[in-house]
Amino acid sequence: MFAIDTNVLVRLLAQDDRRQSAIVARWLDARLDEGDSVLISSLVLLECEWVLRSRYGLSKPDIAAAFDALLNTPGLVFDNEPSIERALQHWAETNSEFADCLIAASNQSIGAVATMTFDRKSARIPGMSLLSE
């Protein structure tokens, strides 16, 4: 199994550097054609979402569609796919940040009853609860 870093994933999704984007596409195609698995960690997705949103101005639906396509690509594996899928669902249904949705979903997957927060917006995410006086 191989894993990729955020900058590699951004090149693949943003196609912002023709040379590096082509290198990534060739490398990924070769790995998948040879039957190798390629890991994309939750941390890489988290950082990638921030880069695509803040640097490239991509919209939430565009980023969500790109991540959904990754999840449906044979040979790509994720460290906590069910949590990522739940986070994307909650992100689509709420006005919350992807990071907060992924935190809540990941914490639930390891047994947390709730993730406590002072953020009222985040408290609307399933698995988050508002910590108040």
Res 117 pLDDT > 90: yes
Structural domain ending residue among the three candidates 56, 79, 102: 79
Whether residue 6 sits in one domain with residue 68 = yes
Residues 84-98: tens digit of each pLDDT:
999 999 999 988 999
- Name the percent of the chain lying above pLDDT 90: 92
pLDDT interval class at 132 (50, 70, 90):
confident
DSSP three-state, residue 20: helix
Whether residue 55 sits in one domain with residue 106 = no
> Average pLDDT in the 44-56 region?
97
Give the CA distances from residue 30 to residues 1, 24, 34, 107, in Å, rounded to whole numbers and listed in that order: 13, 10, 6, 35
Give the DSSP letter of residue 38: E
Whether residue 111 sits in one domain with residue 50 = no
Whether residue 91 sits in one domain with residue 125 = yes
- Name the percent of the chain lying above pLDDT 70: 99
Domain total in the chain: 2
Whether residue 31 sits in one domain with residue 94 = no
Whether residue 58 sits in one domain with residue 2 = yes
Whether residue 94 sits in one domain with residue 74 = no
pTM value? 0.90
Give the domain range for residue 90: 80-133
Q: What is the DSSP string of 48-88?
A: HHHHHHHTT---HHHHHHHHHHHHTSTTEEETTHHHHHHHH
Whether residue 71 sits in one domain with residue 116 = no
pLDDT interval class at 71 (50, 70, 90):
very high
Whether residue 62 sits in one domain with residue 95 = no
Whether residue 72 sits in one domain with residue 122 = no
| pLDDT computed for residue 94 by the predictor | 87
Q: How far apart are CA 17 and CA 37, in angstroms?
A: 25
| pLDDT computed for residue 4 by the predictor | 97
